[in-house]
Amino acid sequence: MWNYGRLLIFALSITFYGCASAPVKETPSAIQGPLIDSIHAKARENASWFEVHKKSISTAQKKYRGETAPELAYALEKGIYLYEDKRIVGYLRKIVDELLLKWEGPKPRLAIILKSDQGFSAYVDEYNQLFISTGLLREVKNEDQLAAVLAHELSHVLLKHNPTLSAARNTSRALEMGGMIAVAAAAYESKRKGSKKHMKRGTDALLGFQSMGLIWSDILTPSWSRKNEREADMMGMDLLIRAGYNYEEFYKVIERIHDASKRRSERVELFNRLSSLYLQANKNKAYKKNGNQLDRMVGDLKLVLASSIVTSGLNKIASKSKSHEDRAIRIDALKNYLNAAYEGGDLPPEIRTGEFNRVLRSKAAKSRLEQDLVAIEIINAVANRNVRGAKTKYKKLRRKGSYEFNSYIAAKSSVYKLKRDRKAAIRELNKMIRRGDAPAEAYLDLAMLYISVKNFRKANGVLQTGIKKIGRDYKFLPSLVLLNKRSGNIKAAENYTIKCQKYNSETRKTIAQMVLNPQRKDSYYYQCASILGYDVIAKRERAAERKRKAQRKKVKQLEKQLKSIFKIK
């Protein structure tokens, strides 16, 4: 039987197993004037400065061939709820352009994307997409603080730092896998055992994995090396000073980042405790039935190993995500840099608040951002099966106004599902998909709702639309296997299961599962095959072998007939 806890351990363990472990260099190089000047000397008139980025875009274009831009398709596949607000994006773009005015190298191609998130976070991915969380927009106090965040992230791009070693990237991959398989497997169990409770568990699990991106986004920030972080701080300071911003606001931003780090530590501790509880509840998996004393000792050892692996994995994730020094060290390093590079610097200019207040602190903007936070809290409450909490929060969700952003729609559909109002949940998810910026989970969730009411044609249409939009079928294959199995199209279900093979390299067997059950098959293909109920490849190989045997038998019979005819002659 599938359960949410089991898939949570799968996600956490696979993350630990997949984290990069590059050594961190702790000693910064000596400061010789402003860092930006030395970078200008290398980047000026160098047309190939962003060549690596161009290669990343080229790789994405080969991987994502849908209607959505490849870079954005990558984000949608990872389940990010986009927060659409053209005015805010335009404002952020204006700040970035100001920061780049004194940059003498080639101008980088940079997309700005708002994402619904509780956390105070911003990061640049390998496709030069600058993600800004709504949590950050809610917490910054003025334009200078916002410019400090943007200057730091922009510096990663200008300095050509490599974000591909992000622990968050590995985590989102594991979580997305858990979400897909949880729902598909639960729906299969629902039919096989004739019980609706399995389907409900699967739906709850999907909601859980959808919100895991929100919960973990401020736990696992991109894992840059600390050397790169120092450089981005110094370069960010250069950009702020030369664009005329109040550089002292950078220190206040660092304080806020420190507070977010504390929240991350608290959440890691919470998940440590949950993991231990899960292992204890499922400890029978470590022991043989009717085993002797030696088997019991081996089972005890397995349980201890699994528990320590999960705990150390979580702690390793926490340490990976701590890419900065402590705030005091970081602030002192920046002040020392300011004194060395600018001989203390001029008095900082006045803080800018005019346009900031008009764009981010207007009544309409504040209301939308507050509603986004309520929506995220509802999604998380549903994920934690806190029905009362979700319904209480739902009362704070306003029904009138321009709140049709993805987290808001997802929150409404989540509550409708709690109330077993499938029609309303379907209506909301269709609304999100029509907007054109829905995450893959919205397509999967809607398809599962259609499957639950046996509207297989619409379920297939939703899944095919998701594939067409995002540009590859990775996240949709398990649901397509289930859909065709439930609708009786077994041949199509088998073909989709076989397609899962090409994504085996994107998944890994978890260390904890290998300890508890080394024989378990956890490749992507076998996850899809478990939904179908049997190994398609093995079945077809057996069928081919039977066909070959029949042909050999036929040949022998023919030979026997020919010999008989020859003897008669």
* DSSP symbols for 32-54: -S-HHHHHHHHHTT-TTTTHHHH
Query: pLDDT (tens digit, 9 = 90+) per residue, 517-533?
Result: 454 456 789 889 989 99
Closest to 185 measured CA to CA, from 195, 198, 194: 198
Which of 64-78, 316-330, 368-382 has the lowest average pLDDT? 316-330
| Cα–Cα distance for residue pair 47/190, rounded to 1 Å | 58
User: For residue 24, is pLDDT > 70?
Assistant: no
Proportion of the chain above pLDDT 70, given as a percent: 68
What pLDDT is recorded for position 280?
59
User: For residue 475, is pLDDT > 70?
Assistant: yes
* Residue, of 566 and 514, whose pLDDT is higher: 566
What pLDDT is recorded for position 526?
86
Cβ–Cβ < 8 Å for 244, 349: yes
| Residues β-bridged to residue 115 | 82, 133
Structure tokens at 372: 């986004």
Name the range with the highest mean pLDDT among 72-86, 354-368, 517-531, 549-563. 354-368
User: For residue 290, is pLDDT > 80?
Assistant: no
Specify the 3-state DSSP secondary structure of 109: coil
Cβ–Cβ < 8 Å for 523, 507: yes
Q: What is the amino acid identity at position 505?
A: S
User: For residue 225, is pLDDT > 70?
Assistant: no
What pLDDT is recorded for position 326?
74
User: For residue 11, is pLDDT > 50?
Assistant: no
Cβ–Cβ < 8 Å for 152, 233: yes
Cβ–Cβ < 8 Å for 190, 129: no
Residue 480 C-alpha from the chain's centroid? 21
User: For residue 249, is pLDDT > 80?
Assistant: yes
What pLDDT is recorded for position 71?
84
| Cα–Cα distance for residue pair 428/83, rounded to 1 Å | 16
Vertex 192 angle, CA 187 and 196, to 5°:
50
> What per-residue string of b and e applies to 405-415 under the rule 16 or more CB within 10 Å gives b?
bbbbbbbbbbb
| Cα–Cα distance for residue pair 279/272, rounded to 1 Å | 11
Q: What is the amino acid identity at position 169?
A: R
What pLDDT is recorded for position 4?
40
Specify the 3-state DSSP secondary structure of 115: strand
| Cα–Cα distance for residue pair 253/109, rounded to 1 Å | 25
| Cα–Cα distance for residue pair 425/309, rounded to 1 Å | 39
* Residue, of 445 and 325, whose pLDDT is higher: 445
Q: How many residues does the chain have?
A: 569
Cβ–Cβ < 8 Å for 34, 342: yes
**Average pLDDT rounded to a whole number, residues 446-450:** 95
Global pTM value: 0.76
Instruction: Give the pLDDT band of residue 135 (cuts 50, 70, 90).
Output: very high
Instruction: Give the pLDDT band of residue 353 (cuts 50, 70, 90).
Output: very high
Q: What are the angstrom distances between the C-alpha of 535 and each of 180, 487, 539, 549?
A: 19, 19, 6, 21
User: For residue 347, is pLDDT > 60?
Assistant: yes
User: For residue 382, is pLDDT > 50?
Assistant: yes
| Residues β-bridged to residue 113 | 131
Which of 130-139, 186-195, 213-222, 504-513 has the lowest average pLDDT? 213-222
| Cα–Cα distance for residue pair 153/130, rounded to 1 Å | 8
What residue ranges do the domains of the chain occupy? 4-501, 543-569
Proportion of the chain above pLDDT 90, given as a percent: 46
What pLDDT is recorded for position 120?
87
Query: pLDDT (tens digit, 9 = 90+) per residue, 137-194?
Result: 999 999 999 999 999 999 999 999 866 544 344 444 444 444 444 444 454 455 555 5
**Average pLDDT rounded to a whole number, residues 57-79:** 88
Instruction: Give the pLDDT band of residue 125 (cuts 50, 70, 90).
Output: confident
Region for residue 550 given its phi and psi (left: phi exceeds 0; alpha: psi -120 to 50; beta: otherwise): alpha
Cβ–Cβ < 8 Å for 79, 140: no
Region for residue 221 given its phi and psi (left: phi exceeds 0; alpha: psi -120 to 50; beta: otherwise): beta
What pLDDT is recorded for position 214?
42
What pLDDT is recorded for position 61?
85
Instruction: Give the pLDDT band of residue 440 (cuts 50, 70, 90).
Output: very high
Q: In whole numbers, what is the pLDDT of the chain averaged over residues? A: 78
User: For residue 274, is pLDDT > 90?
Assistant: no
How much is the CA Rg of the chain, to the nearest whole Å? 27
| Cα–Cα distance for residue pair 434/342, rounded to 1 Å | 52
What pLDDT is recorded for position 98?
97
Name the range with the highest mean pLDDT among 262-271, 289-298, 485-494. 485-494
User: For residue 371, is pLDDT > 90?
Assistant: yes
| Cα–Cα distance for residue pair 68/64, rounded to 1 Å | 8
| Cα–Cα distance for residue pair 131/489, rounded to 1 Å | 41
User: For residue 269, is pLDDT > 70?
Assistant: no
User: For residue 541, is pLDDT > 80?
Assistant: yes
Residue 80: Cβ within 10 Å count: 25
Instruction: Give the pLDDT band of residue 510 (cuts 50, 70, 90).
Output: very low
**What contacts 379, CB < 8 A, 6 or more positions away?**
207, 210, 211, 214, 407, 410, 411, 414
Closest to 446 measured CA to CA, from 462, 457, 461: 462
Task: Work out the angle between the directed axes of helices 4-18 and 167-193 (0-180°, nearest 10).
Answer: 150
**Average pLDDT rounded to a whole number, residues 348-366:** 95
